[in-house]
Structure 1
Amino acid sequence: MKILLTILVLALLGDRAFAGLLNIFTADTDYNAAQLMDSLFGALANGTKVILNGGSTGNPLSVDITFWCGNRNNPNLVQTMLDDSSLTSKISTSKPLVFIIHGWMDNRSRNWIKDMTTDYFKYFDTNLCVVDWGNLAIFGYYMAFNHTFTVAKYLSQFISSVSSKGIAMKDITLVGHSMGAQIAGNAGSALGGQLGAIYGLDPASPLYMMPLDIGTAKRLDKTDAKYVQMIITSRCFWGVCIADGHENFYPNNGMVPQPNCAIPLFSNAEVAEPILCSHVHAHTLFRLALNPSNVYMGNTCPACLFGLLGKKSKMGVYSSRIAGDYYLSTGIWPPYTI
Structure 2
Amino acid sequence: MPLEAYLLSCRSLDTMKWAVVALFIAASSASVLKVSPERGYQDGARFFHFPGDGDGIVHLVDLEEPVDVDYVEQYTRNPDNNAYWLFTRANPTVAQILLPNNANSVINSNFNFGRVTVFLAHGWNGNGRNSMSLALTQAFLENGDVNVIVLDWNRLANRNYATAKNGVPAVGRGLGQFINWLVGLGASYDRMHLVGFSLGGHLVGNAGRETGGRVRRITALDPAGPLWTRDNGRIVETDGRYVEVMHTNTGLYGYTDPCGDADFYPNGGSSMPGCWINSCSHSRAHEYMAATVRYNHLLGRECATLRDAQRDRCTGDWNPMGNSDLNKSWPGIFRGNTGRSYPF
TM range (shorter): 0.7 to 0.9
Correspondent of 1:331 among 297, 319, 339 = 339
Q: 2:55 aligns with which of 31, 37, 62?
A: 31
After superposition, the C-alpha distances for 1:181-213 in whole angstroms (9 at most, x for unaligned) are: 10111111121100100000001111111xxx2
Is the 1:49–1:57 contact (alpha carbons within 8 Å) kept by the matching residues of 2? no
> What is the aligned partner in structure 2 of residue 267 from structure 1?
none
Structure 2 match to 1:89? 108
Instruction: Describe the shift of the 1:57–1:190 C-alpha distance in structure 2 as closer, same or farther (beyond 3 A).
Output: closer
CA distance in 2, matches of 1:170, 1:147: 27
Q: C-alpha distance in 2, partners of 1:308/1:139?
A: 41
In the other structure, the counterpart of 1:64 is 81
Match of 2:180 in 1: 160
Distance verdict in 2 for CA 1:69–1:199, change over 3 Å: same
> Does 2:283 correspond to 1:277?
no
- SS of residue paired to 1:164: helix
**Partner Cα separation in structure 1 for residue 67 and residue 226 of structure 2:** 24
- Residue pair 1:299, 1:307 contacting (<8 A) in 2 also: no
With a CA cutoff of 8 Å and minimum separation of 6, indicate the structure with the bigger relative contact order.
1
CA contact (8 A) 2:72 2:156 kept: no
- SS state at 1:260 partner: coil
Aligned to 1:23: none
Change (3 A) 1:49 1:279: closer
2:85 touches 2:95 (CA, 8 Å); kept in 1?
yes
- 1:186 has 2:206 as partner: yes
Match of 1:78 in 2: 96
> Cα distance 1:177–1:228, how it changes in 2: closer, same or farther (>3 A)?
same
Letter matched to residue 255 of structure 2: V
Give 2:169's aligned residue: 149
Q: Does 1:231 align with 2:246?
A: yes
Question: Is the partner of 1:259 in helix, strand or coil?
Answer: coil
Aligned to 1:290: 293
Residue 79 and residue 10 in structure 1: after superposition, are their counterparts in 2 closer, same or farther (change >3 A)? Answer: farther
Report deviation, 1:254.
Answer: 0.1
Q: Does the alignment pair 1:15 with 2:51?
A: yes
Maintained 8 Å contact 1:50/1:57? no
2:321 aligned with 1:315: yes
Q: AA paired with 1:72?
A: R
Given residue 82 of structure 1, which amino acid in structure 2 is its aligned partner? P
Identity %: 26
Do the aligned partners of 1:15 and 1:277 also contact (CA within 8 Å) in 2?
no
Deviation (angstroms), 1:32: 7.2
- Write the distance in 1 (CA, Å) between the matches of 2:131 and 2:263: 26
CA RMSD of aligned residues (A): 3.4
Amino acid at match of 2:341: W
Contact 1:228/1:246 (<8 A) preserved: yes
- Alpha-carbon distance change, 243 to 59 in structure 1, aligned in 2, over 3 angstroms: closer
Q: 1:132 aligns with which of 139, 152, 157?
A: 152
Taking the aligned partners of 1:109 and 1:299, their CA distance within structure 2 comes to 34
Of 257, 260, 269, which aligns to 1:242?
257
Cα separation, 2, equivalents of 1:242 and 1:59? 29
The TM-score with structure 1 as length reference comes to 0.77
Give unpaired runs (5+ residues) of structure 1.
19-29, 263-273
Distance 1:58 1:308 in 2: 45
Residue in 1 that maps onto 2:4: none
Which residue pairs with 1:24 in the alignment?
A: none
Can you list the C-alpha shifts for 1:98-117, whole angstroms capped at 9, x where unaligned?
10000011001112211210
Q: Residue deviations 1:37-60, cap 9 Å, x none?
A: xx99xx99xx99958x67656797
- Closer/same/farther in 2, CA of residues 5 and 158 from structure 1, 3 Å limit: same
Q: 1:247 to 1:308 in 2, by over 3 A?
A: closer
Q: Structure 1 residues 59, 171: CA separation in 2 closer, same or farther (over 3 Å shift)?
A: closer
Label 1:314 to 1:126 Cα distance change in 2 as closer, same or farther (>3 A): same
- Count of equivalent residues: 296
Q: How many angstroms apart in 2 are the aligned matches of 1:104 and 1:96? A: 27
Unaligned runs of 5+ in 2: 1-13, 24-35, 39-47
